[in-house]
Amino acid sequence: YKPSIIFIDEIESIVGKRGGHEGLEYMDKLVSQILQEIDGMKDTAHVFIIGATNIPDAIDPALLRGGRLSTQIEIPLPGKPEREKLFDLFLKKTNKTADVNLGELAGLAEGYSGADIQDICQRAILDVFDKSGGEAKEVAQTDLKESLEKYKKSSKAYHVPEYIKKGTEEGLSA
């Protein structure tokens, strides 16, 4: 049907690089079949296929050729001003103590995505709620820093993939 948008999240799971699936030859056949299906689409005006991934290096290069998914848009990790705005957004409806310093939190959360920051805020709010015995209490800077530290440990020293760090260091994210 037209117009249509076909969105495939984590596209690398179905069109990963061919030849890298030892014992899973059917994966190479699946990638080839998907590429043939995309090539075989007739009259694709007003039909858009969008794929999203956190691992662009894992996608078969043939998928990125012209006429397939040929336009690539990188959405970089948020910089410090954006992280500060994200903390503000996720804590907007939360009672906070006067010591909450969003700039400091943003500095401590370098390399974290918006989803990471949302999770950190939600964990802090829930921890305060649990500690207070189910009463609505204010969230303090120490609660948020504790949550950030717990998040770091639970994600096993959260790391940013090298290809994202490289792009950020070269100023590609600006």
Note the pLDDT of residue 123.
94
Nearest to 16, CA basis, from 57, 73, 70, 75:
57
Per-residue pLDDT band at 162 (split at 50, 70, 90): low
Range of 1-15, 25-39, 134-148 with top mean pLDDT: 134-148
Choice between 114 and 132, residue whose per-residue pLDDT is larger:
114
Q: Is 174's pLDDT higher than 50?
A: no
Average pLDDT over residues 32-57: 80
Note the pLDDT of residue 120.
96
Average pLDDT over residues 80-95: 96
Per-residue pLDDT band at 157 (split at 50, 70, 90): very low
Note the pLDDT of residue 37.
80
Q: Is 25's pLDDT higher than 50?
A: yes
Average pLDDT over residues 147-169: 62
Average pLDDT over residues 74-102: 95
Q: Is 165's pLDDT higher than 60?
A: no
List the beta bridge partners of residue 50. Answer: 7
Give the H or E element holding residue 85.
helix 80-91
How far is Cα 172 from Cα 164, in angstroms, rounded to an integer?
A: 9
Q: What is the average pLDDT value for the chain, to the nearest integer?
A: 82
Taking the whole predicted model, whether its pTM rises above 0.85 is answered as no
Q: What is the b/e burial string over 98-136, where b = at least 16 CB atoms within 10 angstroms of the residue's CB?
A: eebebeebbebbeebbbebbebbbebbbebbeeeeeeee
Choice between 14 and 153, residue whose per-residue pLDDT is larger:
14
Note the pLDDT of residue 44.
67
Note the pLDDT of residue 173.
41
